[in-house]
Chains A and B, each alone.
Chain A
Amino acid sequence: MQTQLLKVHILAALLLTIALVSCKKDKDTEQELITTVVVHLTATDGSFEQEFEWDDRDGDGGAAPVIDEIIIPAGKTFNCQVFFYDRSKTPEEDITEEVETENAEHLLVYSVSGANLTIAAADTDDNGKPFRLKTVWTTAAASNGTVKVSLRHEPDKDAANPDTTGDVDAEAEFVVKVQ
């Protein structure tokens, strides 16, 4: 009788524990990795169209990123659009759509050094604030330098200088040759 009762108690305790321990089905993690930044340039006169890639498909560390040099003719105007991809996945994920959908939460920042290149915004976000996924690039005389394309998340677009607010989601630096 005594042992029977004990068994019942043990069983009850075990069942309770199993109920506590049984866990939810595994939810996989969701990575928001950007491996690739593509700068698509089209000359307004139709004489030039090319894509330049900053590509690190194995993610942070490991193999070094493969970076194209942006070689563009001098004295021209280009329409530029930037694309972002996650190529660590198969098939690759186009992150540009997400960025466009949440345009108020994103801001692209370009910084040019050395090259005779000016970049002007060609779009705004849904609130009429800067977004700069699409820009107009104008080259002057032949020169060499760099251009850094940054994608910032959750910027404060009302700040005096919104370009330094928010967090960097991607920052790709290219060598630029205007010739």
Chain B
Amino acid sequence: MIAGKARFWGACWLACTALPVFAQDCHIALRGKIMDDDTREPLAFASVFVQEADKGAVSDENGYFIVPDLCEGATYTVTVKHVECDHETRVVRLTENTLLEFYLHHSQVLKEVIVTEKSVAAAPAQAAVSVSGNELAATQGVNLGETLKKLPGVTLLNTGATIAKPVIQGLHSNRIAIIANNVALEGQQWGAEHAPEIDPFTADRISVVKGAAGVRYGVGAMAGAIVLEPAELRRNAGIGGWLSLGGFSNGLGGVASGALDWHLPGRSLTFRLQGTAKRSGALRAPDYWLGNTAAAEFDFSALAGWKSGRWTHQVTASRFTQRLGVLRAAHTGNLTDLRRAIESDVPLQNADSFTYRIGRPYQSVQHQLLQYKTGVRLSEKWKLSGQYSFQYNYRREYDVVRKTGSAAEKPQISFRLWSNTLDVALEHFPIQHWEGGIGIQGIQQLNYVGRGGYIPDFQTYGGSVWALERWRRYPHPWEYEIGARFDYRRSDVSYAEGTFLPPGTARDTSVHFSNASATGGIIYHFAKYGRVALHSGYAWRPPHVYELFARGVHFSSATYEEGNRRMRPEKAWNSNLSLEWQAPRLSATLTFFRNAVQDFIYLNPSADSVLTVRGAFPVYRYRQDNAVLQGIDAGASWQVFSAWSVEGRASVLRAFRRVHDPASDKQRKEWLPLMPADRFQYGVKWQKPGSKGQAGETYVRLLATAVLCQTRLPAEGLLKAAPDAFTVFSLEAAHTFRLGYKTEDHPAGQTLEIGLNIQNMTNRRYREYLNFFRFFADEPGVNVGLRARWQF
């Protein structure tokens, strides 16, 4: 849909730092931010002195300072002083407008100064968790879902072992937005068995924003957003990058990924090439092979960024291709077959041997992106940014077929989606302590469904206008956020009189939706390390064409699904209250959330059945009722001794809908299906003392994940009871070596990180309620992964 505001802020900062770039040699500004290293809070009234130029500045209440009129190419000694902290001195060679970040320390230790040009965009006021560094690297080679499931409040919706979708506080697919490098992913996310078309290796940091985030991230971010941020481009001339290799014992899989950054000497032009290749064979459950679960993936991206006067530009092109085998045992012809497959303890029709071959059924997915973003600094306080993106998504599903020869090469279903989005935003830096902006967005989308798809073709147009502001005045303990947005969506659908029209015919059935969204948040910093945040958001989602017009047999569940043209948009009012404590030895977060969804769309079993050539299938119709999802996400880690720390996480969710009961003419509560069961995680970590956050970090961590049995289930429509509770253990270890090569980028030597990751250590046999294939087979058994990452 839309690039979220946060990205604009990021882009804005990118440009702002490039600020008053004049062509003259000595009109370069040195900008920076000074923060307390312990609390990460801005330090006001710190003095900055540039020795060679004999110029100084004082940081403002947000920690920012600016020293104008410095000369390009010259070397300066910058000294930062603050009454409460030790002073810091750093030698900087100015080749362009520079943003320095100083982290001042209260103790006598002189800290390394980090020169960055990163986004200083205020994090959303609502509950958010993120993963980066070692934690991200540990599971990056698997898939996006696997990377995120360690975060409290995030679970996975699986279709077998190869297809995983992230679930935020019980909601997934079209109800959450995935934002990669400032662009909202426009894929086929409506399908529960359609995995996100994202290469996790492109991200340096992945954040999960929980709760209604529609104002920031656009229509669809009704239950939250997943935000992937790439590593910053190189700022100094030269070549750098990384290479990562990994291997997995289960499925004998391998993954290779690498990136190369090249900053042209003497110019503000940087390139990045990044690629990932992945291949794995059939996975193994403790007792048998999971037939046809091999997978292959190849991703590539190229990026170029440059600055020209007050302008910044970035062009990105990426391509994601994936072939995913689907467990053969999950393919059944009709309800009788399905029941028999469910009753069997072992998978039926299962090739019980290892192979790299991807046979039918399988999915083939392709996603391409072309993105251009630009920003221009209008004045000291104002900045204008724009972004255009084009995305092409091509999804093909190959079923088990009878035909041979060339016809046997073709897919049974294909979906193609072309999306064009345009964003323009006008943003400002603090004015009277308010920081924020306004913007507009437009989207055009063409969805072409090959013959046999169970949704019709459609074309969508949309427009949005938004405004978002944040107030913060250090050291004032209160912080406020307020925002609003209005969206319009119109879809023209090839549908008439209950039938899908052939491709290319007039799209003469129109549906349109519009709605407002709002967000408000208050943060109170009650102590140096503690804050409490209350956030409330109202967001919405137009019903997708599949919920309006779907018609067909869904073979994996042996149901005949029927859309309803009279669907209204879903509206969510989400509130969360977070308590956070981030001290050096103890960090803890506790979030209470409640998401009240008006007109929640769900599939409801009916008494009807439809007779097809494969037999009778029960009819499920899309319906709407009000629903409530509420619960607690908690996480804490405590450094007990210098080397040992313990951690714990919990996710508890209660989700129900209010259904009108015709018998009593009253509303009754009914549990929502496919909601994550209560989940707890405990861990103990040993870390080589003094190595935290340093290159040379060494740690071993043992984690236990306990998932209870989901007992809160709807009365109807269940094919099989929810699986039992289980506990699985996993182990992570990593060590970073210093290599001998000392370069300008790596004055202490290049690094080589070696990691070990063992999943399901005890080779336990278990099934997950949130896996559609729990009917057919167990989850995979023990998996030992080894990885190495060379940073050069």
Residues of chain A having any CB pair with chain B under 8 Å? 2-3, 5-6, 9-10, 13-14, 16-17, 20-21, 23, 27-37, 54, 56, 58-62, 64-65, 95, 98-99, 101-102, 105-106, 152-154, 164-173
Contact = CB atoms under 8 A, between A and B. Distances in A.
Given A30-B410, A61-B553, A64-B611, 13 more contacts: A21-B370, A29-B412, A29-B414, A29-B452, A33-B452, A102-B402, A153-B400, A154-B349, A169-B333, A170-B614, A171-B615, A172-B613, A173-B615
10 contacts: A28-B450, A29-B412, A29-B453, A30-B407, A62-B551, A64-B611, A98-B403, A165-B348, A167-B349, A169-B333
Interface in B254-282: 267, 269
Given A20-B317, A56-B612, A13 B304 contact: yes
A101 B407 CA distance: 15
Nearest to A14: B315
A8 B396 CA distance: 37
Interface in B384-443: 390, 392, 394, 396, 399-404, 407-414
Contact of A61 (B304, B308, B396, B560): B560
A9 B306 contact: yes
Contacts of A29: 396, 410-414, 450-453
A148 to B, nearest CB: 9
A36 to B, nearest CB: 8
Contact of A32 (B315, B412, B499): B412
B304 A9 contact: yes
B400 to A, nearest CB: 7
B472 interface: no
Nearest to B450: A29
B576 interface: no
Contact of A60 (B392, B401, B410, B553): B553
Contact of B315 (A17, A33, A54, A169): A17
A28 B451 CA distance: 8
A169 B306 contact: no
A6 B614 CA distance: 61
A20 B301 CA distance: 9
B452 to A, nearest CB: 5
B560 A60 contact: yes
Nearest to A170: B613
B241 to A, nearest CB: 18
A153 B402 contact: yes
Interface string B208-246: 000000000000000000000000000000000000000
B498 interface: yes
Q: In the A-B complex, list the 4 residue pairs whose CB atoms are closest, starting with the nearest.
A: A168-B333, A30-B410, A17-B317, A167-B333
Interface string B300-323: 101010101000010101110000
B52 interface: no
A20 B300 contact: yes
A58 B302 CA distance: 47
Contacts of B304: 9, 13
B286 interface: no
Contacts of A167: 331-333, 337, 349, 400
B517 interface: no
Nearest to B370: A17
B392 A62 contact: no
Interface residues of B, number: 60
A61 B615 contact: no
B552 interface: yes
Contact of B269 (A9, A28, A37): A9
B546 to A, nearest CB: 14
A171 B412 contact: no
A60 B610 contact: yes
A30 B269 CA distance: 48
Interface in B55-70: none
A29 B448 CA distance: 12
B762 interface: no
A90 to B, nearest CB: 12
B340 interface: yes
Contact of A13 (B317, B400, B562, B615): B317
Contacts of A13: 302, 304, 315, 317
A27 B410 contact: yes
A57 to B, nearest CB: 10
Contacts of A105: 402
Interface string B329-362: 0011110110010000000110000000000000
A65 B613 contact: yes
B614 to A, nearest CB: 5
A30 B403 contact: yes
Contacts of B348: 165
Nearest to A152: B333
Chain B CB count within 10 A is highest, among A28, A29, A37, for A29
Contacts of B407: 30
Contacts of B578: none
A122 to B, nearest CB: 22
A6 B349 CA distance: 59
B368 interface: yes
A168 B402 contact: no
Listed residue (A3, A10, A106) with the most chain B CB atoms within 10 angstroms of its CB? A10
B400 A2 contact: no
Contacts of B617: 60
B613 A99 contact: no
Contact of A168 (B409, B412, B614): B614
Contacts of A153: 333, 400, 402
B402 A32 contact: yes
* Most chain A Cβ neighbours within 10 Å, of B340, B410, B614, B615: B614
B403 A32 contact: yes
A5 B302 CA distance: 19
Contacts of A168: 332-334, 336-337, 614-615
A161 B662 CA distance: 46
Contact of A2 (B308, B331, B613): B308
Nearest to B406: A30
A107 to B, nearest CB: 12
Contacts of A28: 410, 450-451
A10 B315 contact: yes
Contacts of B552: 60-61
A95 B402 CA distance: 9
Contact of A16 (B302, B390, B413): B302
Contact of A23 (B394, B404, B412): B394
A30 B394 contact: no
Given A153-B402, A167-B331, A171-B614, A6 B306 contact: yes
Contact of A99 (B334, B402, B411, B450): B402
Contacts of B308: 2-3, 6
A101 B408 CA distance: 14
Nearest to B390: A21
A54 B613 contact: yes
Nearest to A56: B613
A16 B562 CA distance: 43
Contacts of A20: 300, 302, 317-319, 368, 370
A150 to B, nearest CB: 8
A169 B614 contact: yes
A153 B409 CA distance: 18
The residue in B318, B332, B333 that gathers the most chain A C-beta atoms within 10 A of its C-beta is B333
Nearest to A10: B315
A82 B607 CA distance: 33
B593 to A, nearest CB: 39
Contacts of A171: 333-334, 613-615
Contacts of B610: 60-61
B402 A169 contact: yes
Interface centre among B407, B409, B611, by most chain A C-beta atoms within 10 angstroms, is B611
Interface in B450-472: 450-453
B496 to A, nearest CB: 13
